Amino acid sequence: MPNYYQPEIECASREQIRHWQDERLVHTVRHVYENVEYYRKKMQKKGVTPDDIRSVDDLCKLPFLTKDDLRDAYPYGLLAKPLSDCVRIQSTSGTTGRRVVAFYTQHDIDLWDECCARAIVAAGGTKDDVVHVSYGYGLFTGGPGLNGGSHKVGSLTLPMSSGNTERQIQFMCDLGSTILCCTPSYAAYLAESIIERGLRDQIKLKAGIFGAEAWSEEMRHDIEEKLGIKAYDIYGLTEISGPGVSFECAEQGGMHINEDHFIAEIIDPNTGEVLPDGEKGELVFTSITKEAFPLLRYRTRDICALNRTPCSCGRTHVRMSKPMGRSDDMLIVKGVNVFPSQIETVLLAQGYPANYQIIVSRENNSDLLEVLVEMTPEMFSDALSTVSAREHDLVGALKAMLGIYAKVRLVAPKTITRSEGKAVRVIDKRNLY
Ligand SMILES: [Zn+2]
């Protein structure tokens, strides 16, 4: 039986959803135009006024917003409510330059929590569950988002945050955690650590909600098998609210976007042209219910596709495919687009653990792609000749996937540094910028 947190919304008719979107878009555009000078100027430059936006059909008239706009407007430039009405900020984990700071009123927090509650209930969560939140807390949206959603559902919430794996496992056993929320790479690490300690029978996990980084279907199967759970994908970004912008149902066939709050478009990243459903392109979001920090046509840099065919779970909201990776993560090696997720797919399909590192360097003006991969303990005990035969096979499989040569180095188990948050998969030594 499918479970819904808000069935009247999650299973609303398409006409109803469209009606909400039209009404809320018109309201939000006016709200932003009247209260945000930065955005008013952008609209004026494009010759658009709120009167031009009467329905979702007019969305394409609005200018795009990019991460650069958010950096330019830091910290208060895109704030649409008086600061005295705001109750929280969250911020992105930007590695360089200015961070992005997002503001929330209590209304915005409530809606965000509801989105996360929908994800938890879709993963089978009820008030009887113990929700183990191992996303980072603090400025990062992962911990606070799932924490709030779990409260809405009425589950017992364990605000574990990331790190301290020993304590994570101990609480998981002692308090009977049933739903694990964290990054997929940390879930894989926890699974490995639980098995190593012989505690697989002591855990009561039934589901996991994993997001905040790219992961492959192979990695999903690996985690599901090792922990004996069903693994659900969740998607979101701080700029738009946090996790819960979209989430997976039990069908595991794409993530339902909460369309009563967010309008999704797919565009050609080079021309900005809106692409038809089913085509792969850059995901663009317009938030239509937020008060403090509503963004219109925000370019996410995520490459994916939308699917409007009805889902057998009964939810009527459009589904987005798992992003192929952020276009920021995309590496250009020898002129070819390479996504770390493609490399991971090959490794897991060949039976390697998801512990790898991609190193890109430049020798004699030519790019060199190198993949460091950990062997399983069984592989490690093989003869040296078997190991080089394995390397040779992997080079072939990677070439078939990527279209270019990648050097492969198989290393001993546990030699690649483990991560307790987002995994560091790529090291680019080329100093191109
Ligand atoms: Zn569904």
**Is residue 181 in a domain?**
yes
Please say if the pLDDT value at position 433 is more than 50.
no
Is the model more confident about 261 or about 2? 261
Q: Are residues 302 and 357 in the same domain?
A: no
Dist. CA 250 → ligand 1 center (Å)? 7
Q: How far apart are the CA of 276 and the centre of ligand 1, in A? A: 21
Same domain, 265 and 368: no
Ranking 182-196, 209-223, 254-268 by mean pLDDT, the lowest is 209-223
Interatomic CA distance for residues 88 and 140, integer angstroms: 12
Pick from 326, 360, 392: which residue ends a domain?
A: 326
Domain presence at residue 433: no
Whether residues 115 and 35 fall in one domain: yes
Same domain for 57 and 83, yes or no, is yes
CA of 229 to the centre of ligand 1 (A): 18
In-domain check, residue 114: yes
Q: For residue 256, how far is its CA from the centre of ligand 1 (angstroms)?
A: 7
Query: What number of CA atoms fall less than 13 Å from residue 165's CA on the CB side?
Result: 16
Q: Average the pLDDT over 143-165 and give the result.
A: 96
d(CA 338, CA 13): 40
For residue 300, being part of any structural domain is answered with: yes
Q: How far is the CA of 254 from the centre of ligand 1 (A)?
A: 8
Task: Give the integer Cα–Cα distance in Å for 116 and 212.
Answer: 14
Q: Which amino acid is located at 417 in the chain?
A: T
CA of 83 to the centre of ligand 1 (A): 38
Distance 17 CA to ligand 1 centre (A): 16
CA of 2 to the centre of ligand 1 (A): 9
Residue 246 pairs in a beta bridge with: 235, 257
Same domain, 78 and 174: yes
**What's the mean pLDDT in 173-194?**
95
End-to-end alpha-carbon separation of the chain, Å? 53
275 shares a domain with 360: no
Distance 306 CA to ligand 1 centre (A): 13
**Same-domain check for residues 316 and 273:** yes
Between the CA of 316 and the centroid of ligand 1 the distance, in Å, is 8
Per-residue pLDDT, 216? 83
Position 383 scores a pLDDT of: 86
User: What separation in Å is there between the alpha carbon of 3 and the centre of ligand 1?
Assistant: 10
Amino acid (1-letter code) at residue 322: K
Q: What's the rounded Cα separation, in Å, for the pair 180 and 169? A: 11
Residue 110 Cα to ligand 1 midpoint, Å, equals 23
The string of DSSP codes covering 393-413 is HHHHHHHHHHSS--EEEEE-T
Q: What's the CA gap between 222 and 227, in Å, rounded?
A: 9
Tokens read off for 233:
């994908």
Distance (angstroms) between ligand 1 centre and the Cα of 57 equals: 26
Half-sphere exposure of 39 (CA within 13 A, CB side): 28
Q: Is residue 235 part of a domain?
A: yes
Single-letter code of the amino acid located at 80: A
Contact 29, 39 (CB under 8 A): no
Domain-terminating residue out of 326, 355, 373: 326
| 221 CA → ligand 1 middle, Å | 19
- Ligand 1 centre and the CA of 286: distance in Å? 22
Statement to judge: residues 316 and 357 lie in one domain? no
- Split at pLDDT 50, 70, 90, the class of 39 is very high
CA of 319 to the centre of ligand 1 (A): 8
Give yes or no: residues 101 and 219 share one domain.
yes
Counting every residue written for the chain, the total comes to 433
Ligand 1 centroid to residue 309 C-alpha, Å:
10
Rounded to 10 degrees, what is the CA torsion of 139, 141, 143, 147?
120
Q: Which of 279, 295, 326 is the last residue of a domain?
A: 326
pTM, 2 dp: 0.81
Judge if 208 and 339 occupy the same domain. no
For residues 302 and 67, is the Cβ–Cβ distance under 8 A? no
Query: Whole domain around residue 338: which residue ranges?
Result: 331-428
Sign of CA dihedral 200, 204, 206, 211: negative
Distance 5 CA to ligand 1 centre (A): 13
Residue 94: pLDDT over 60:
no
How many other CB atoms are there within 10 angstroms of residue 287's CB atom? Answer: 23
Q: Is the pLDDT of residue 193 over 50?
A: yes
Pair 300, 414 in one domain: no
Mean pLDDT is lowest, of 93-107, 234-248, 267-281, for 93-107
Question: CA angle at residue 256 from 255 to 261, to 5 degrees?
Answer: 130
The domain that holds 363 is classified in CATH as 3.30.300.30
Joined tokens for residue 51: 């009167």
Average pLDDT over residues 158-173: 96
Residue 275 within any structural domain of the chain? yes
d(CA 47, CA 189): 52
User: Cα–Cα distance between 414 and 406 in angstroms, integer?
Assistant: 22
CB proximity list for 306: less than 8 A, separation 6 or greater: 257, 264, 266, 277, 278, 318, 319, 320, 321
- Specify whether 232 is located in the same domain as 355: no
Q: How many domains does the chain have?
A: 2
Any idea what the CATH number is for the domain that residue 302 is in? 3.40.50.12780
- pLDDT single digits (tens) 321-369: 988 766 656 777 887 778 888 898 899 888 898 889 999 998 877 889 9
CA 10 to ligand 1 center in whole angstroms: 10
Average pLDDT over residues 72-85: 96
Do 33 and 42 meet the contact criterion of CB atoms below 8 Å apart? no
Query: Is residue 152 pLDDT above 90, yes or no?
Result: yes
Answer with the residue of higher pLDDT: 420 or 155.
155
Lowest mean pLDDT among 230-244, 286-300, 376-390: 376-390
Q: What is the whole-number distance in angstroms between the Cα of residue 248 and the centre of ligand 1?
A: 7
Predicted pLDDT of residue 1: 59
